[in-house]
Amino acid sequence: MKIKQIQEDLVDEFAMFEDWMQRYEYMIDLGKSLPLIDSKYKTEDYLIKGCQSKVWVQAELIDNKIIFKADSDAIISKGIIAILIRVFSNQVPNEIIKANTGFIDEIGLKEHLSPNRANGLSSMIKQLKLYALAYQTKINNE
Amino acid sequence: MKNNTNINVEEIRKDFPILKRKVNGQNLIYFDNAATSQTPKVVIDSIVSYYSNYNSNIHRGVHALSQEATDAYEGSRVKFQKHFNAKNSFEIIFTSGTTHSINLVANGFKKILKRDDEIIVSQLEHHSNIVPWQMLCEETGAKIKVIPIDHNGELIFSEFEKLLNAKTKVVFVNHISNALGVINPIKKIITKAHEYNAAVLIDGAQATPHMKIDVSELDVDFYVTSTHKICGPTGVGVLYGKEEWLNKIPPFLGGGEMIDKVTFEKSTYAGLPNKFEAGTPNISGVIASGVAIDYLNGIGLDNINEYEKDLLDYATSKLLEIKDLKIYGVSEEKTAVISFNVGQIHPYDIGSIVDKLGIATRTGHHCAQPIMDYFKIPGTIRISFSFYNTKEEIDIFIKALNKAILMLS
Ligand SMILES: Cc1ncc(COP(=O)(O)O)c(C=O)c1O
């Protein structure tokens, strides 16, 4: 599925809820389906800086698509990274690099977006895009 | 709700404009007072009045505005001298905050310390404030020794006694831990350290909002705080130093105001307090800080202390009704700070959800990583009260907390 389509689906899903509590509950549920990182990657090297909770992300290139896996010690962060991974995983690097992230605002998580927020949503996006950039550079050089 | 103290909280709340605002559609409940206190209107007004009526540089001009500003600025110094019961007003130095004050003192010991001299700090310190001492040790070859804490979050005094010896030159301890709210036995620490002729610096950032400090009675060598924790503006610190120590240590910053005579060969320093106040200070902030201390004294720190203790006891008993809730720092001697966790729930998750309900708490390690390492936790949720908080707010918080726990389990 295209990134844009997944984002639209997410916006539709979140639109079903009336208030933030239901949206948070849904996000927490999405966190439960997060493709979990192998515990051997739960190290300093895979930690995303700038989050108050610990969030680890690991990426792999399979058939030119990036597969992301992650985990967090906080439930809300786990939900947030799960949403991002649903959007960005299994995509080609260039699409990830180009992707717009305005959908976060639309699903009512705007308050998590500010780069000054201790929760690190913007750091997570940056990290996923950095992986994509690294793999794209590698592909270009091959 | 009933309150048997001398605090009329409904009236006091009217003094704080910010308490009327809404957050995420809910009435703001501000439980992050240990980080920064809110500002009463008289303090805000004094800043507006300064810029509207007599904004000008101090100590330099002969003109009317400059005289007025200088009088107000120096008047503030006298207010803090009286408040802290210092012998002389020049023993009060204005800085930009506790961090600045600690750096000023640590820097001052560069010339005094020799290789293998020892500095004692506590495990309870704000970690940014350990850094100046580490830098000092790197430069001088002195060593840092740490007073450990027990499982209640109290310093182990007998361990402190063991660390003291002829090589101990400085002891640095906070009066009250910002992460746990536990009051340290500073009088005992000061007396003991003086038996070894060590200088004692007390970080009073968390104590000054809750209690009256008497530096003469304590016989402390340096005592520091930030006025943004005592209803003043941000960016102002107060450093009390004993005259003999302030004369002994060199200035921290070079610049205007701190010099007596300048030639390119050598400048001679001005006397106290100007030696430590180089450049144009935060004039309006210092004046407003004086207004803040008057405001607090108008209410009375004893009344504040009694009222906050009532809030602390109420909140503690309500929190302990919650299953798997653990409070860190359970000393009898505590200010209105409660640091806790619920089961395995990450503090950040709870903090995020109660924020959506309009409640400001602090989550994380509270700049006190060594304490979190001791308890083997990533952090805590910290709620801290001021005299404008109420039991009703605590009830709302408890409801919000239970809601968060339900969502997160
Ligand atoms: C115990 C303690 N020391 C030092 C500080 C730092 O104060 P400031 O940031 O005003 O320099 C704080 C404030 O958080 C504190 O609680």
Residues A28-75 have pLDDT tens digits of 999 999 999 999 999 999 999 777 788 999 999 999 999 999 999 999
Q: What is the number of helices (H) and of strands (E) in chain A?
A: 6, 2
Q: In this prediction, does ipTM exceed 0.90?
A: no
What was the pLDDT predicted at B272?
Answer: 92
- What is the model's pLDDT at position B1? 54
Ligand 1 touching residue B203 (CB < 6 A)? yes
> Chain A: nearest CA to B280, how far in angstroms?
30
pLDDT at residue number B315: 98
Distance CA B325, CA B347 (A): 12
Q: Ligand 1 in contact with B174 (CB < 6 A)?
A: yes
Contacts of A74 in chain B (CB under 8 A): 346, 348-349
What per-residue confidence (pLDDT) applies to A108? 78
Q: Are strands B92-95 and B29-30 parallel, antiparallel or unpaired?
A: unpaired
Q: How far apart are the first and last CA of chain A?
A: 26
User: How many other β-carbons are positioned within 10 Å of the β-carbon of residue B25?
Assistant: 10
- C-alpha B92/C-alpha B76 separation (Å) is 10
pLDDT at position B126: 87
**Does 3.40.190.10 match the CATH number of domain B45-298?**
no
Same fold, B9-41+301-408 and B45-298: no
Residues of A in contact with B356 (CB under 8 A): 20-21, 24
Q: Where are the domains of chain A?
A: 3-140
What pTM does this model have? 0.91
Report the distance separating Cα B86 and Cα B76, nearest Å: 14
Q: What is the percent of chain A where pLDDT is above 70?
A: 93
Task: Give A62→chain B minimum CA distance, Å.
Answer: 34
Q: Indicate the residue type of B362.
A: R
CATH architecture for segment(s) B9-41+301-408: Alpha-Beta Complex (3.90)
B207 phi, psi to nearest 5 deg: -95, -40
| CA B274/CA B278 separation, integer angstroms | 7
Q: Which residues of B touch A73 (CB under 8 A)?
A: 346, 378
Task: Give the closest-approach CA distance of B318 to chain A in angstroms.
Answer: 24
* Cα gap B79→B370, rounded to integer Å: 36
Find out whether the peptide bond into B370 is cis, omega within 30 degrees of 0: no
Provide the pLDDT for residue B180. 93
Q: What is the DSSP string of B304-372?
A: HHHHHHHHHHHHHHHHHTSTTEEEE---SSB-SEEEEEETT--HHHHHHHHHHTTEE-EEE-TT-HHHH
- The whole-number pLDDT of residue B162 equals 98
The single residue of B19, B112, B367, B398 carrying the catalytic annotation is B367
- Distance separating alpha carbons of residues B230 and B97, to the nearest angstrom: 12
Fold of A3-140: Sufe protein. Chain: A (3.90.1010)
pLDDT of residue A119: 59
3-state secondary structure of B302: helix
Which chain A residue's Cα is nearest to B400? A21
In 3-state terms, what secondary structure has residue A56?
Answer: strand
CB contact under 8 A, A77 and B408: no
Domain map (residue ranges) of chain B: 9-41+301-408, 45-298
Q: Is B38 in the pocket of ligand 1 (CB under 6 A)?
A: no
| DSSP code, position B335 | -
Active site residue A51: yes
- Taking CA–CA distances from B378, the nearest residue in chain A reads A53
The residue type found at A15 is: A
A47: which 2 tokens?
């930690």
pLDDT value at A96 more than 70: yes
| Closest by Cβ to B346, choosing from A21, A73, A118 | A73
- Report whether pLDDT(A118) > 60: no
Task: Write down the pLDDT at residue A142.
Answer: 82
Residue of A nearest to B365 (CA): A52
- Give the residue ranges of chain B where pLDDT is below 50: none
